[in-house]
Structure formats: C-alpha cells, structure tokens
Chain A
Amino acid sequence: MHSEASGGCAARRGQGYTASRMVARRLAPPLDTDTVTLRVDGDEVRAVRGEPIAMSLFAAGRLVLGRSVKYHRPRGAVCFSGRCDGCLLRVDGQPSVRTCREPAVDGRTLETQNVLGSAELDLLAATDWFFPGGMDHHRMFTWAKPVNQAMQLVARHVAGIGTLPETAVPVAAVEDVRVDVLVIGAGASGLSAATGCAERGLSVLCVDEEREPGGWLRFDPAARGGSSPRADELAAAALRSGVDLRCDRAVAGLFDEPRGERIALVDGRGALLRVRARAWVIAQGRTEGASAFEGSDLPGVIGAEAAARLLAHGILPGERVVIAGDLATRSAELDALASALKDAGADVTGPVGLGALVRADGRTSVTSVTLQRDGASTKHPSDLLVLGTRTGAAYELASQAGVRAEYRDGVFELAPRAQGGSVWVVGGAADARSFEEAIGQGERAALEILDALTDEPVAELEDGTEGSR
C-alpha cells in the first residue's frame, strides 16, 4: 500500500494528448491485421478492429472525451456499457453517439462536442468557476426581461451536447416480429430462460445490447480475455433449441398499445424491430451508480464493472489504481478485481470502503486520490479510481412493463412477480447472487411461461414467428 504522496504527477502535465502519459495500456500489442486507425479531432488513434471505440480511446490514453453540459467540466467514460454520459462524441457526423457501443472501424471520424478549444483545454470551463455553488435556474437573470433574453442567447451557445447532423438521416426500416417470448438480455439467466422456452416448442426472440451473448460471464475478472466457455455453451444451447438470438440490439422501450397489446421497440443497426410477444422475460442485470465526493466526476473515475470490461478487452485501465466500494455487498468481487489488476501489472490500493474516500484530484483526469483511514488522511498518486458502489436492478424496462421498482438498502430493486402477469424478471435484476442461481431462475421462468401460455386458448399460437402483421 502507498503511504505518502511524492509528487508523482509530473509526467502527466502535458495539455494535449501527445504528452507522454502512462495511464491505460494494452496487455498485449494487437496484431497488425487487427489494427485500424480512427481519426479523433484530426489526430490518428490506433485501435483494435471491432472493439468499442471508447475503449480504444481509453487504451490510447485519451480519457477526456468531452465536457459537461453546463459547467464544462471534463467528462470521460464511466460505465463502458452505454449507461452513462461519459463517452459521447460526434461519430461520422452523427451527434452524441455512445462510443462504448460503436465498434472501431478503419477511418471512422470522431469529433469532440460542446467545447471551445479542445476536450482537454476548453475555454468554456470558465463557467465552472463563475458559478462555484451551481446555477440557481429558478431565479438567475429572471429579474429583467432584456437581461433574461440576453442570457438565454449566451446559454444556448454555452450549454448542450452536440449539434444536428448536416444531412438528413434516411428513415430506417421496420421489421415486425411476433413471438411467444421476448427475452431481453442474453446473459446466463436470459439464455437459460430462452433455451427452456424454445426446447418446449415456444418461439423465442432473445436480444442483447452487447455484441456477444453471455453477459457478465464474459466480464467476470475470473474469465480472462473475455472468453467464457460457459457463455459459449449457453449460447450454443440456445441456438440449437431454435432461439432467434440477436446481439447488438438494445431495447428502446416497452409500450402498452391502446388495444391492450404490448410492443417492444428494439434498436438494431440501421433498422428498428417492433416486437409483439405473449411473455416477456427481463434479464438486464444490475447497474452500478454514482457516488458523491469531490472529483467524483473526473475522467479516470470508472465503475468496477467498467474496469472488468476493459480487462476483458485486454486493456489495463490504470497503472496506479485505487479501488473503493461497498464492501458489505461487493467485497469478494472487488478483491477479485484487485487481484486481476495486480496480475496485469497495476499497483493497487484497496479495496477500501466508500466511506474512506475523501476526494479525487486532477486538472482534467485523476492524478491523486485522498483516503481517510484510521483517522489519518493520505493522498495517493493515482491515475485511476475504481468505484464499486452497491448495485441495483436494471429496473427501467421492467417498470415500463408494470413491474414495481422499490427502494431497498439505498438502491432500487424489482418487486417479486405478480401472479398472472406476463413479465418475468430473472438473473441479476432479480437479485441472483451467482451464475448458478441466475441459470436456475431462467429455467424456472421457462416452466412458468410454458404453463401460463399453454393455459391460454390462443388460436394463433403457431401463427409464424416472424414477418409482417
């Protein structure tokens, strides 16, 4: 463990991205045949073909990807799973693209949004100093009409994220899909539920926002390099049983139509899927949340799951790492992450409890983390702070389908299934604590779904699994 700060930040004082900085690095050099070049604000950045762009940039030491909407504070990726605001860039002319969900392809053009200057040195950051406590939107500049109007003009230039594309985007195609069961999430529980239903003759569509099925099995620090025989087996079983398994498809929302029918809109590459199903399985896992301390929003503060994702992609996210988290619920997981980071060559402090975390410092990304332990405050030179907060269920889509989300121990969890409903929540979202438990929940849901659907006298059960209405 570190004991005292000793001016270890000198190597990181450069203002541009050409400055030498050892922050993140690749664990092995990519093969030439796998290497592609991205263009970022005029710079060329080497990336591995197909990896998430946000990860390519992180591995290249580009932690600061943009600025926040009001105060122009530096922003970088936090979750690497499409659930934060940190990795938004203009990609090939499209604004506010989550680059953690976009694959690196040779020649893609990335531009920083919402800055006057660069992501690293944004002149609009003056607003951060001008409003030290924050802006009081309820009263600010509202006392005289001309002042208010003038300020609105200024605010429109200073605030916001991205500007519209220069050319109109062609309207996408809609594919209508009608199935017995839609499974949202192709992790351990979702795949088990999907296979269980398909083996019993039900038509099943299973979608996942990741590019490969397997969910957390692929990011578990124990599964090195993102490969997981178990994930492969579960996915192969699903395909064998006839599941229509589609990855890189995010569900945008569940809607109850006026006629009592529910539809899911699924966002695919260049197309929209409109899915009608008789049973809905939600297996979206859990979400890490933010924590409140000074510097919590600095680039270089990332989630524990994000750190595990980066490792799975062969990227060591930091050289000097502090891990802080909710030790009551995540101790074993954070210990495993700490070991994996150490094995990969990082110098790791922690895991410590979130209560020990005082602040993170740095001009545009983390250079030190201050911890308070045994009554003494210690500043640790660091380039990465990993936060393992207590996780809560990914409740959003389940809520849209009528499942109640309730506050439990500082997070939101989903209520147990209501009798007679058509929605099943399984896996991490149902608080499964292990892959075995998740698989068991999926298998049980499949039996219940079969029971529920075969009780219904539906004439059009064999009404085809795909195609237009």
Chain B
Amino acid sequence: MSGKIVVCRCEDVTLHELDEAIAAGHRDLESVKRFTGFGTGFCQGKQCVALCARLLAERGGELPTSPITPRPPFHPIELAKLAALLDDDDEAGGSAP
C-alpha cells in the first residue's frame, strides 16, 4: 500500500485531502465534508465523523456544534423493503421516506 493516511475508509478520504480542504479555506465540519466527501459512504460516518471533527479542531478549524446530519437509513436497507411502502403512501397522499 502507498503511504496514505486514510481518515474515511468508506470513501477513501485521506488526511492529505482533509488538509487541502482546510488550506482551501474550509473551516467547519460540514464544508470539509462537502469538499472531501468524508462521512458520505457506506457507513454514513459512524466510523469517521468524530475523528474528522477532532482532526479539524487540531488544525485550527471550528469546533462543531453538531455532527453532519445523520439522515436515514441508519443501516443500509434493500430497496425491495422500501418499495413495499409505495402503494400505501401513494394512496395516503405521498410521504415516501
């Protein structure tokens, strides 16, 4: 393997990329997330968000007031299960999850 330090396993985000985001002027967790893509992969940040928040704080960034928004699903779920909701919700006026 090369000498990368990976800070987000799911999206292969490196410490170098985090530093580049900060050098590009991003100072808060949400902006750095959008710039690098950390926390947006399979595990949705369960492994990396606190780490990235600490690394950002250590580099003079803002202390986060909250994590990145934890949207559903909490765990990956098959579309075949969500599809089961469609008919019902269509009748009820549409509130697909």
Contact = CB atoms under 8 A, between A and B. Distances in A.
Interface of A: 68-71, 73-75, 78-79, 82-86, 88, 94, 96, 98, 125, 128-129, 132-134, 136-138, 161, 169-174, 209, 250-255, 257-258, 265, 267, 271-272, 274, 287, 289-298, 363, 389-390, 392, 394-397, 399-400, 404-407, 410-412
B70 A84 contact: no
Contacts of A253: 71-74, 97
B80 A129 contact: no
Contacts of A170: 80
Given A73-B6, A412-B50, A252 B73 contact: yes
B74 A396 contact: yes
A292 B66 contact: no
B85 A272 contact: yes
Interface centre among A134, A250, A293, A407 (most CB of B within 10 A): A134
Contacts of B25: none
Nearest to A298: B1
Nearest to B66: A405
A363 B1 CA distance: 6
A409 to B, nearest CB: 10
Closest 9 A-B residue pairs measured CB to CB? Answer: A253-B72, A396-B70, A70-B12, A169-B80, A134-B14, A252-B73, A85-B42, A297-B6, A85-B10
B9 A85 contact: yes
Interface in B27-86: 35, 37, 41-44, 46-51, 53-55, 57, 63-67, 69-85
B65 A295 contact: no
Nearest to A162: B42
Contacts of A173: 84
Nearest to B73: A252
Contact of A295 (B1, B17, B44, B69): B1
Contacts of B48: 289-290
Contacts of B43: 83-85
A96 B67 contact: no
B80 A69 contact: no
Contacts of B66: 404-407, 412
A69 B11 contact: yes
Contacts of A290: 7-9, 47-48, 51
Contacts of B14: 133-134
A255 B76 CA distance: 16
A171 B51 CA distance: 38
Given A73-B1, A85-B43, A292-B55, A68 B75 contact: no
Given A171-B80, A253-B73, A395-B67, A75 B2 contact: no
A138 B26 CA distance: 14
Contact of B64 (A88, A404, A407): A407
A218 B50 CA distance: 26
B80 to A, nearest CB: 4
Most chain A CB within 10 A, of B1, B6, B9, B11, is at: B1
Given A170-B80, A174-B84, A209 B16 contact: no
B12 A71 contact: yes
A75 B9 CA distance: 9
Nearest to A176: B88
Contact of A134 (B16, B42, B47, B74): B16
A258 B81 contact: no
Contact of A84 (B9, B50, B53, B63): B9
A134 B78 CA distance: 31
B45 to A, nearest CB: 9
Nearest to B55: A292
Contacts of B7: 290, 292
Nearest to A273: B81
Contacts of A267: 73, 75, 77, 81
Contacts of B73: 252-253, 265, 267
B85 A209 contact: no
B78 A169 contact: yes
Nearest to A136: B20
A132 B2 CA distance: 6
Nearest to B89: A257
B74 A85 contact: no
A129 B3 CA distance: 9
A69 B67 CA distance: 24
B56 to A, nearest CB: 10
B46 A69 contact: no
B51 to A, nearest CB: 5
Contacts of B47: 78-79, 83-85, 289-290
7 contacts: A86-B9, A172-B78, A267-B77, A291-B51, A390-B50, A400-B71, A404-B66
A414 to B, nearest CB: 11
A123 to B, nearest CB: 14
B3 A296 contact: no
A292 B5 contact: yes
B68 to A, nearest CB: 10
A374 B16 CA distance: 28
